[in-house]
């Protein structure tokens, strides 16, 4: 079963995701796709389409997207958000056929199609009709076996793989509190739980595993930092991050539940008072076929 995510949470984090992703690696991917007149992207675990709305601006010519996700509610929200985002910047969005949305940018249309699919089996992905496979905040959920299978399939087709926002396990809530280590330990245990990709989730091991596995398949691998920096005035994001960490930790540190609950209460109060800042480190990884 696919791990579930709330659309409100994905919306809240979208501006932090956009500020965090490393533009240098996006430019490298665009340089690789330079000869494609109309590049086609497959976004795995696309959620509400946050990566498409960010990366599409780098393409600067007509191009197309297939958004793949198992969650029908997120998929429908992705298209609503895509249309709203287009209108907000003065672009039109139309549905000339039922199958795909066209977002009319001044540099050409973005054709966006959605497929409701469980992406846990790479062999079932539509890899023969795309030029690049991309994802955002997905690879911490997947298993090593899934990555191996994906790398094999992409190498055979000489397709690039661009995985943004992979957690590294380095996180800091400021100011420090006595329960920080306990919450961090429980959260780290939760990140390795099986998340429906055929084995233990990679969690913070994802950036290293992507680099190693794609490197072994002949890929040139580039990595770059993409941290979430949440200043004190971003109280809602700081609060949600603290509560999310506490909830995940509670599932694994049951004997110390009261300490985690107390930590969450204090963190929520700090956030509401504009006194909590957070940094969550990520790495973006771009793998280009040799
Ligand atoms: C952390 S969210 C990231 C969403 C989006 N890429 C973003 O950056 O905002 C992970 C996404 O993966 C999707 N997902 C998780 N497991 C999946 C699976 N087995 N098949 C398809 N989608 C899956 C979830 O529905 C969710 O949209």
Reported as a single tens digit per residue, the pLDDT across 229-244 is 999 999 999 999 999 9
Average pLDDT over residues 30-53: 98
**pLDDT band at residue 44 under the 50/70/90 scheme:** very high
Average pLDDT over residues 257-268: 97
Q: Does residue 140's CB lie within 6 angstroms of at least one atom of ligand 1? A: no
Taking 80 as the threshold, does the pLDDT of residue 1 lie above it?
A: no
Q: Is residue 136 part of a domain?
A: yes
pLDDT for 97? 81
Total Cβ atoms within 10 A of residue 114:
23
Q: Is residue 159 part of a domain?
A: yes
Ligand 1 centroid vs 270 CA: distance in angstroms? 30
Q: Does residue 46's CB lie within 6 angstroms of at least one atom of ligand 1? A: yes
Q: Is residue 165 part of a domain?
A: yes
The DSSP code for 2 is: P
Closest approach atom of ligand 1 to CA 164: 8
**pLDDT band at residue 290 under the 50/70/90 scheme:** confident
Q: Is residue 17 part of a domain?
A: yes
Of the chain, the percentage scoring pLDDT greater than 90 comes to 97
State the residue for tokens 């329960």. 179
Q: Do the beta carbons of residue 240 and residue 272 sit within 8 Å?
A: no
Q: Does residue 10's CB lie within 6 angstroms of at least one atom of ligand 1? A: yes
Among 235-239, 251-255, 274-278, which stretch is predicted with the lowest mean pLDDT? 251-255
Where in the sequence is the domain holding 154, given as residue range(s)? 7-169+199-230+281-289
Ligand 1 centroid vs 248 CA: distance in angstroms? 17
pLDDT for 98? 83
Reported as a single tens digit per residue, the pLDDT across 62-120 is 999 999 999 999 999 999 999 999 999 999 999 998 889 999 999 999 999 999 999 99
Average pLDDT over residues 154-158: 98
**pLDDT band at residue 274 under the 50/70/90 scheme:** very high
Total Cβ atoms within 10 A of residue 186:
24
How wide is the angle at C-alpha 77 spanned by C-alphas 75 and 78, nearest 5°? 65
pLDDT for 281? 98
Reported as a single tens digit per residue, the pLDDT across 118-133 is 999 999 999 999 999 9
Ligand 1 centroid vs 267 CA: distance in angstroms? 27
**pLDDT band at residue 270 under the 50/70/90 scheme:** very high
* CATH number, domain with residue 98: 3.40.50.150
Q: Is residue 61 part of a domain?
A: yes
Of the chain, the percentage scoring pLDDT greater than 70 comes to 100
In this structure, what token pair is assigned to residue 199? 């084995």
Please give the Cα distance from 33 to 230 (Å, whole number).
33
Q: Is residue 182 part of a domain?
A: no
pLDDT for 107? 96
pLDDT for 2? 84
Beta bridge partners of 289: 219
Higher per-residue confidence, 19 vs 98: 19
Taking 90 as the threshold, does the pLDDT of residue 220 lie above it?
A: yes
Q: Please choose, from the candidates 104, 259, 103, the residue with its C-alpha nearest in 3D space to the C-alpha of residue 186.
A: 259
pLDDT for 14? 98
Question: How many domains are there within the chain?
Answer: 1
Q: Is residue 237 part of a domain?
A: no
Please give the Cα distance from 72 to 114 (Å, whole number).
10
Please give the Cα distance from 101 to 94 (Å, whole number).
6
Q: Does residue 114's CB lie within 6 angstroms of at least one atom of ligand 1? A: no
Q: Does residue 75's CB lie within 6 angstroms of at least one atom of ligand 1? A: no
- Phi, then psi, of 53 in degrees rounded to 5: -65, -25
Q: Is residue 70 part of a domain?
A: yes
């Amino acid at each position: 079963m696919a791990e579930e995510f709330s659309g409100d949470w994905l919306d809240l984090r979208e501006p932090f995701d956009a500020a965090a992703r490393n533009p240098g690696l996006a430019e490298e991917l665009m340089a690789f796709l330079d000869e494609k007149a109309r590049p086609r992207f497959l976004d795995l675990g696309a959620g509400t389409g946050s990566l498409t709305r960010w990366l599409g601006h780098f393409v600067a010519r007509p191009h197309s997207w297939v958004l793949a996700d198992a969650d029908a509610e997120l998929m429908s929200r992705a298209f609503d958000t895509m249309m709203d985002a287009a209108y907000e910047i003065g672009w039109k969005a139309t549905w000339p056929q039922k199958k795909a949305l066209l977002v009319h940018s001044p540099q050409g249309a973005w054709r966006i199609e959605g497929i409701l699919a469980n992406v846990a089996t790479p062999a079932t992905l539509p890899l023969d009709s795309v030029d690049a496979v991309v994802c955002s905040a997905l690879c911490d959920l997947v298993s090593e076996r899934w990555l191996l299978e994906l790398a094999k399939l992409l190498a055979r087709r000489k397709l690039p793989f661009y995985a943004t926002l992979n957690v590294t396990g380095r996180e800091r809530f400021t100011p420090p509190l006595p329960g920080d280590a306990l919450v961090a330990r429980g959260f780290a245990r939760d990140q390795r739980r099986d998340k429906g990709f055929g084995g233990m989730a990679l969690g913070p091991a994802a950036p290293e595993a992507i680099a190693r596995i794609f490197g072994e398949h002949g890929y040139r691998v580039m990595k770059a930092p993409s941290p979430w920096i949440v200043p004190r005035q971003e109280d809602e994001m700081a609060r949600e991050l603290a509560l999310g960490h506490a909830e995940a930790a509670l599932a694994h540190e049951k004997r110390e539940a009261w300490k985690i609950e107390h930590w969450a209460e204090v963190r929520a109060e700090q956030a509401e008072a504009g006194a909590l800042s957070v940094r969550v480190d990520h790495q973006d990884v771009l793998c280009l076929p040799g």
